[in-house]
């Protein structure tokens, strides 16, 4: 998938967010990068360049005090090559872009990694449980 098509999927994922989330992303830049840099990989629990799909860099809303002003925008980066390498087709890329974006936005709102993993496990278990029929 070329970069322009990938960026289009990211833009659509942002547009698909509930309005209340969009309204609270006013000082957040959402960017696409092919690969994470060494600096971005440092301190992450990912397994190399392919293991990091997205990254939130900034001050979570829950950690901001009254003196929080005149700061650079927070940044959410989606890493195109690792996301594409994880997926088999465009639909999987689209879904993973949505998932990664929402994960990083949750960090922006102050949700920690452990809590996000717990939520993801619950979601997976719910999706795998037998359907009533």
How would you classify the pairing of strands 74-79 and 54-57? Answer: antiparallel
State the residue range of the domain holding 113.
3-128
The pLDDT value given to residue 67: 74
Determine phi and psi for 85, rounding to 5 degrees.
-65, -25
Residue 82 lies in a domain: yes
Q: Specify the pLDDT at position 115.
A: 72
Tell whether 81 is covered by a domain: yes
Residue 102 lies in a domain: yes
Rounded to whole angstroms, the Cα distance separating 8 from 29 reads 15
pLDDT in tens, 32-44: 999 999 999 987 8
Q: What CATH number corresponds to the domain at position 81?
A: 3.30.2010.20
Domain assignment of residue 133, yes or no: no
In a domain, 74, yes or no: yes
Strand, coil or helix: what is 74?
strand
Residue 113 included in any domain: yes
Total domains present in the chain:
1
User: What are phi and psi for residue 129, nearest 5 degrees?
Assistant: -70, 150
Give phi and psi for 125, each to the nearest 5: -65, -40
Pair 120, 35: CB distance under 8 Å: no
Which segments in the chain show pLDDT lower than 70?
Answer: 46, 63, 65, 111, 119, 129-133
């Amino acid at each position: 998938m070329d970069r322009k098509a990938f960026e289009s999927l990211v833009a659509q994922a942002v547009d698909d967010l509930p309005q209340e989330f969009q309204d609270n992303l006013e000082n957040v830049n959402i960017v696409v990068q092919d690969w994470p840099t060494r600096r971005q990989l440092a301190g992450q629990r990912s397994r190399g360049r392919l293991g990091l799909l997205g990254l939130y860099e900034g001050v979570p809303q829950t950690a901001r005090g009254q003196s929080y002003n005149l700061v650079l925008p927070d940044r959410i980066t989606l890493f195109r090559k690792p996301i594409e390498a994880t997926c088999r087709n465009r639909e999987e890329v689209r879904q993973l872009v949505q998932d990664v974006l929402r994960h990083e936005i949750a960090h922006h709102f102050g949700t920690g990694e452990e809590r996000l993993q717990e939520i993801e496990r619950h979601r997976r278990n719910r999706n795998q449980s037998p359907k009533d029929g």
